Structure formats: C-alpha cells, structure tokens
Structure 1
Amino acid sequence: MLYQRSSQLFIEAEKVIPGGVNSPVRAFKSVGGTPIYVKEAKGAYLFDEDGNKYIDYINSWGPMLLGHSYPPVVNAVIEKAKKGTSFGMPTEIETEIAALAVSMVPNIDKIRFVNSGTEACMSAIRLARGFTGKEKIIKFRGCYHGHSDSFLISAGSGLSTFGVPNSPGVTKGTAHDTLLADYNNIESVKNLFLENPDEIACVIIEPVAGNMGCVPPIEGFLESLRKVCNENKALLIFDEVMTGFRLAKGGAQELFGIAADIVCFGKVIGGGLPVGAFAARAEIMDYLAPVGPVYQAGTLSGNPLAMAAGLAMLTAINEDEKLFERLEEKGAYLEKGLTEVLLKNNRKFVINRIGSMISVFFCENNVVDFNSAAKADTPEFKSFFHGLLQRGIYIAPSSYETWFLTDALTYEDINFTIEAVALATQS
C-alpha cells in the first residue's frame, strides 16, 4: 500500500500540532512508521487519504459498536444540528437519554453527562472524596482512566507503595494521594488498606482492562474487591468507558454481577461524539452541586448533538435483543481462527478475549496484569502490526491496546483477517 498523502499530511501537521497528533498513540511511536490519515469510514471499514481500505479493529477506540456512519446516529445528529449546536441551557433530550441509561444499567439512580471519559473519571474521584470525606485513592498499574493528574502515576518497587508522577506537571502531592495495586492481585489491595487505615476514599478500576491489552479479571477478583471496599467503607468505582454498553446492556456490572458504587462511561454512550458520564445511586449523586457540596460543571455538558447521537445509539442497543449474542459469536470465531493460524505458524502467543474485546500477546505466559503484559515481544508486535496494515487490517498501533469488534463486521471480513494474520506471521 502507498501512504504518500498520509505521509505529507503528517509532515504538515507536525508544524502546527505537537508531535503532529492530538492524542499520542496516534503518532505510531510504538510501532514506527507514519500515521494513517482517515478520509471517511463506513460500517466496518476505514478509507484513508491515499484511497486504501482497511477492516477496522479499533473502531474509534470502542464507540463504533454498530459500525461507522451508523444511519440512526448520523440522522439524529443532522436533525438536531438544524435546530442549534449548543445552548448552555437544559434540553429535554438530556432527560431522555439519562432515563434510558438508568433503565439499562444496574445499581444507578442518577447520571450526569460530561464531555469525555477523562472528565467522567476525574469527576467520579472528586465525588468519592467528597462523599466519604477521605483523600486517598487506589488505582491499578496498567489501568488508564484518562490524563487527569491523579491517574498519571506509576508504581514503585513494591506492591504497597506510594505512587510517583510519571509525567512532568504532575505534583508529588497529587502522587502522594494515589496508591497503586496490581491488577488481579487482591492481596496488593488489602495491603494498601492496612497501611492507610481510614484514609482511602475509593478504588477505581477498569473491570476489564483495555489499556494493557485486553485483560479480563480472574475468577473471584472483582467479588473480593467489592468485599474489601465494603469492609473499609470505601467506594468502588468501575471505569466502564470501554466496557459500558459494549460487553452487555448494563456493562460489566451486569456481565459479572458486581455492584459498583460509581460507574464511569464514555465511548459508546456518545455514539462517536465526545461524551462521557458518571452515575451512582441517588445518595451519592445528590452530593453534587447544585443540590450538594461537591462542585462539577461544564458548559458543553449535555451538548444537544452529543445527546442526540448517544440517545440513538443506546436506543438501538436496548432494542436489539441479539446484539451481544452476535458480538460474542463473532469474537469467538475470530479467536478460534487466530489461534489456529498462529499455532500453525509456530508462534508463541496468548490471546485474551471477552465479548467483543480481544488482544494478541506474543509471549508464553498468561497475561493477567501489567507486568505480564509488558513481557510480550514488542518487536514481533511491530512486525505483526505492519504486516496486517499492508494487508488492509487496522489494529491499534500499540501492543497495550485492546482490539474492538463491531457488529458491522461480517464473517467474510473475519475470514479475511484470519488469512491476513496467517500471512503476516509466516516465518
């Protein structure tokens, strides 16, 4: 494939945009080469500025559950735009989508819309601190909750250590209030509570990690986490920016049968537009201004275009009784095919999958946390990524990102993908 137009566009972008991109992973730093510039997308396919076509497995990092340019979403946005794009005032559609979301997701009574997953998680942490009167939080290595200061923390040498900033601009004071545990390791969580009695406001977690590749929770982990939070009067926050409305109508809470105290949403809930949300039972949400003391605001929160897109998306999901069955079947079919060709090509690999989220790691041991994900063969992934790209398959340009399937994907597309993987991994 030729990328002449994309290459030129990247050169032009570097002159006026830091690194040429508005989000770092897009720069292809992990895999090398020049970013692909998308011109348009339809269904399961991307079309770049050079006229190349790709089967898309990132789907805008998750929200395109029903495919790109999904007609009900597109039409809803067009019709709403004709009536105005932003008011900074209440609109009826905000209540409509809020009521629908509350009806779909277990354990929530009220929801507040924001503009991104980062903003949702940031607001949820503030709310948890305000509600509990405590200041420290626990997060997990390898779980990404956006770029708010509290989340840009990496672990020290031990499991039970204070975090240190891993981005300039994050203060030591902020890092001091963020404690780190290892994903799928409940003992690391218990140790932090023992070392910081009556200080921890909440534990925030991706119930299925998607930013160290796809890493599902091991059996009993989420249940134990719920119990530990109860015992220590700390809130459990599920960051369902990726999993919400993707793994089930009610997200990971429904799938695993675990009740979170606060749930964060993004991606799917906006139908592809910039939307996030956080939700909880009424006693927690009523701590928010204007009825409570915890301040949170946003001029563009509940933007009518975003609400229209989100309402169309959630309505389609809610009315399609077979959607998640189809996604599971397609995910299982892809996993089986990838396993067969990688075994045939004598590759050392691990495939993690849950529903429509899947990752391939080039390693021998099970991937259950950030440390085991980091042991995967990065050079082999680079070759794998570019081998697929040349054959018209677009996966995330990082081994630390999950793939996302869309319902628009056909079995012909999946078979094409399996064949491309077979060719890309031949010795």
Structure 2
Amino acid sequence: MTTNQDAAARARAVIPGGVNSPVRAFGSVGGTPLSIVSASGATVTDVTGREYVDLVASWGPALLGHAHPEVVATVQEAASRGLSFGASTPGETDLAELVIGRLDGGIEKLRLVSTGTEATMTAIRIARGATGRDVIIKFAGHYHGHSDGLLAESGSGVATLGLPGSAGVPADIAGLTLVLPYNDRDAVLAAFAAHPGRIAAIITEAAGANAGVLAPEPGFNAFLIDAAHANGALLILDEVLTGFRVGPAGWWGLERAAGERWTPDLVTFGKVIGGGMPLAGIGGRAELLDLLAPLGPVYQAGTLSGNPLAVAAGLATLRLADADVYARVDAAASTVSNALDEALTDAGVAHTISRAGSLFSVAFRDGVVRDYADAKDQDAWRYPPFFHAMLEAGVSLPPSVFEAWFLTAAHDDAALDRVLAALPGAARAAAEATAP
C-alpha cells in the first residue's frame, strides 16, 4: 500500500518541496502532508484510503461540499463539448451577468481570469492606469496573491514560513507598496499625508483571512474608500476568499445588509466563483473596467481566461448557493467554533476565536486579534500538537494557525459529530505542549 510518506518522497524528487503551493508542505505543523486522491461532501480521502472530515474545503471553493453531483455533472457535460477554445463563450457572459446581479449595484462589469493572483495584479494595474500614480497601500497580514508588489508582510504562507516577503522581488518594486497596520485609521491618513499625489489605491481583504481571521472594525472599509477618494485614489476590495463564501454578495453584501452604504471601485473574486476550478475575476465600475484592452490602454490577457469548464463549475455552484446553503454553512461554523472555544476553555488553554461571517480561526492568546501584530503575538507552538491530534482523530484542519477554517453545506450532523468528538483530545494536546 502506498503511504503518505511514500507519496511525499516521490513528489519531493520532482516537485520543489514536494508541493505546488507552500502551505501544503506542513511546514508549520510538521509531519507528513496528506496526499489526497478523492473527496466527497464533507470528507477527503488520502492515498492510504483513510477518510477525514475536511475543514479546509480547498481553501474555500467547496462551499457546497466536495464533488457536488450537480456541479460535477455540469462540468462533465461541458467537457464533452471541448476543454478550451481560445475564444469567447456564452457561459462567460452568463457568469458575468450572474455575478453582477448578485452584487446588485456593487459592480457594473467583470473580467474573468484564472487565479486570484491575476485578479489582484490586474486590479492594481487598472488603478495605476486610471490614476497615473504608482504607490499602493496594503495592510500587514493581508495576502493578495504572489505578484511582486504585494508580498510584503502578506500573512498566510509567508507568515507560516517566517518570511518578510520573497527573494526575487526587486527593491524598486517593493518600494512602491506601503504596508500599514490593519484597522488603523490614523496610519492610513498619515500615509496619504506623507505621499501626496502618489498613491493610486488602497487594496484590502474585505475581511482579513490570511493571518488568521481579522475582521474589519465597524465602518473601517467605508472609511477606507472615503480616505482614498478624498486623496484621488481608489479602493480595491479583495474578496477572493470572502466573495460568495460568507454570503450571496460576499463580505460587501454583509456590510450593506448591516446598513453600510458604500461601493468599492474595484473588487476581486476567486475560489467560490470557480466552484473549485481555476477561475477568478475583477469587477468594478464600467469606466474603470473599460480601461482594459481591447477598449483601453491597460493590457491584460490569458489563453485560459474564462475557461469553459471553470465557468460551468462556477455557474453551477453559484446557482445552487441559495439562502439555505448559506444558513447551513453559518450554522455549521457556529457549531464548530463554539465547540472549539468550549474545548480549549475546559483544557485551560488561553485562546481567542476570531470570526468573520462563516470564517473563523483560533489564536493561542487572550484578547482581541485586531491586526497582524496581534496575530503573531500568540503561542503558535500549541497549534502543531492540536492539529495532529485532530488529524489522528480523522479531522483535517488547515496546516497553519494563520489560516481560516472552512465549513461547507455538506457538513451534516454526522460530520460535525466527528469534529466535536475530536476537539477535547486536541485541546488537551495543546494544553500539554511545551514552548520550544
């Protein structure tokens, strides 16, 4: 029988680090990464045939659960007509209309690309083209893909690896990005005062989810767009993680429902928009999107942009993601996060559960986690034994304390019971851990 160790050794011989995305390597939790061969509903199965309740959900796209029968059938039917045409398809228009309709005034046009990195990179290019300026503001702990100018203090995998950014990024490019503490209004105003006429845009995760979950303080996103516009800049709202995951119109939709009345200039989407296949998008006002080629001077292109299989998966997923789906995901997230809180409390482990919609994470510290500095100021060494105790009990968690936990509409009572049964033992393992 092939083991996960066998699979990892074979992969390391031909793939850098044995993985095609760093966090999969289990670098911050240790041990051998799982090699997954199939997934269904709330579970994944590794090369040994062992099944785990999955709280990774492909880092968000599996909103409905893995391998939803209707999504799979839709993709199979699309594949039967051809895998890629290098030409426009009616499905691209269908998806753009659906997304624009879901945001109901939030965006006017949508350009499809293949990855979240492409989406944010293109949004930055549009902002610079629209304003004639070069400098970008981002927040420490926010991850917007691995393009050169956005890797500084990016949280997620970069935080897991303990890297401030990345080798290979020219200093001149990195110098065009101002990294500010999240939820700090004074820092934003000071940046505009220090760089008058130079800042093209603020880019922010709609709700932070790459240094653990970092929800914006009430009114912070509205403040950002007001500050940007007062200084001739734009606001890019990164909803690659939150878009269509925390609600039918993403985090912006939740704020709108709560009474916030503001509209982002540009929005980036990924994950759920492709239903588990490589697809992302940039939306915004028509005057900004029309700066893209072939209408305008801002160039962007991609052979696989709007790939018909990915579009089919995205359409099927979004059409199935009704109010009942979001209610089930929210309820499942509440069940697990409340049980996690109770288990760690009973074990005497200092902790904070941070939540934004259905996304949540745990930090091994007391007190509110407001920004990246808070997220890093924790007993992160308690997470590896917690993680491995859950894995041994048949529950697959994100392999980094800096990642969000994801529930799906397929997490039924049986799946949730398995998670809840595993939590007390994992909490005890965290309590018994010793600092390195």
Q: Is the 8 A contact 1:39 1:49 kept in 2?
A: yes
Give the ranges of 4+ consecutive aligned residues of structure 1 lying more than 6 Å apart after TM superposition. none
1:212-361 aligned at under 5 Å gives the runs: 212-257=211-256, 258-317=262-321, 320-361=322-363
Task: Output the amino acid matched with 1:193.
Answer: F
Partner of 1:364 in structure 2? Answer: 366
TM, length-normalised to structure 1: 0.95
Is 1:130 aligned to 2:134, yes or no?
no
Is 1:166 aligned to 2:170, yes or no?
no
Task: Output the amino acid matched with 2:67.
Answer: S
How far is the alpha carbon of 1:227 from its aligned partner?
Answer: 1.5
Q: Distance in 1 between matches of 2:380 and 2:190?
A: 32
How far is the alpha carbon of 1:354 from its aligned partner?
Answer: 2.3
Task: Output the amino acid matched with 2:6.
Answer: Q
Which runs of no fewer than 5 residues in structure 2 stay unpaired?
A: 155-162, 257-261
CA displacement, residues 168-190 of structure 1 (integer Å, 9 cap, x when unaligned): 11001101111111111111111
Is 1:83 aligned to 2:48, yes or no?
no
Q: Is the 8 A contact 1:165 1:171 kept in 2?
A: no
1:42-53 aligned at under 5 Å gives the runs: 42-53=40-51
How far is the alpha carbon of 1:71 from its aligned partner?
Answer: 1.2
CA displacement, residues 261-303 of structure 1 (integer Å, 9 cap, x when unaligned): 1000000000100111000011111111101111111011011
Q: Distance in 2 between matches of 1:309 and 1:71?
A: 11
Task: Output the amino acid matched with 1:349.
Answer: H
Q: Distance in 2 between matches of 1:412 and 1:366?
A: 32
SS at match of 1:322: helix
Partner of 1:23 in structure 2? Answer: 21
Q: Is the 8 A contact 1:363 1:375 kept in 2?
A: yes
Task: Output the amino acid matched with 1:201.
Answer: A
SS at match of 1:289: coil
Cα RMSD between the aligned structures?
1.5
Q: How many residues align?
A: 415
1:94-133 aligned at under 5 Å gives the runs: 94-106=92-104, 107-133=106-132
Which runs of no fewer than 5 residues in structure 1 stay unpaired?
A: 156-163
Q: Which piece of structure 1 moves more, 225-234 or 273-282?
A: 225-234
Q: Distance in 2 between matches of 1:148 and 1:215?
A: 22
CA displacement, residues 84-126 of structure 1 (integer Å, 9 cap, x when unaligned): 1011011111111111111001420100000000000000000
1:197-216 aligned at under 5 Å gives the runs: 197-216=196-215
How far is the alpha carbon of 1:345 from its aligned partner?
Answer: 1.2
Q: Is the 8 A contact 1:137 1:177 kept in 2?
A: yes
How far is the alpha carbon of 1:214 from its aligned partner?
Answer: 1.1
Task: Output the amino acid matched with 1:183.
Answer: Y
SS at match of 1:279: strand
CA displacement, residues 136-188 of structure 1 (integer Å, 9 cap, x when unaligned): 00001100001000111239xxxxxxxx9721110011011111111111111
Is 1:388 aligned to 2:390, yes or no?
yes
Match of 1:58 among 56, 59, 71: 56
Q: Distance in 1 between matches of 2:120 and 2:282?
A: 7
How far is the alpha carbon of 1:4 from its aligned partner?
Answer: 6.0
How far is the alpha carbon of 1:412 from its aligned partner?
Answer: 3.0
Q: Distance in 1 between matches of 2:29 and 2:239?
A: 27
CA displacement, residues 37-92 of structure 1 (integer Å, 9 cap, x when unaligned): 00100000011111111111110000000000011211111011111101101111
How far is the alpha carbon of 1:197 from its aligned partner?
Answer: 0.6
Q: Is the 8 A contact 1:165 1:172 kept in 2?
A: no
Q: Is the 8 A contact 2:30 2:384 kept in 1?
A: yes
Q: Is the 8 A contact 1:356 1:406 kept in 2?
A: no
Partner of 1:73 in structure 2? Answer: 71
Q: Distance in 1 between matches of 2:13 and 2:338?
A: 45
Q: Which piece of structure 1 moves more, 338-347 or 107-116?
A: 338-347
Q: Which piece of structure 1 moves more, 42-51 or 322-331?
A: 322-331
1:397-408 aligned at under 5 Å gives the runs: 397-408=399-410
Q: Distance in 1 between matches of 2:16 and 2:100?
A: 39
SS at match of 2:3: helix
Q: Which piece of structure 1 moves more, 414-423 or 401-410?
A: 414-423
How far is the alpha carbon of 1:335 from its aligned partner?
Answer: 2.0
TM, length-normalised to structure 2: 0.93
Partner of 1:159 in structure 2? Answer: none
Q: Distance in 2 between matches of 1:353 and 1:152?
A: 24
SS at match of 2:95: helix
SS at match of 1:330: helix
Q: Is the 8 A contact 1:181 1:189 kept in 2?
A: yes
Q: Distance in 1 between matches of 2:251 and 2:132?
A: 27
SS at match of 1:46: strand
Q: Distance in 2 between matches of 1:325 and 1:165?
A: 38
Task: Output the amino acid matched with 1:59.
Answer: A
Q: Is the 8 A contact 1:165 1:175 kept in 2?
A: no
SS at match of 1:101: helix
Q: Distance in 2 between matches of 1:170 and 1:382?
A: 31
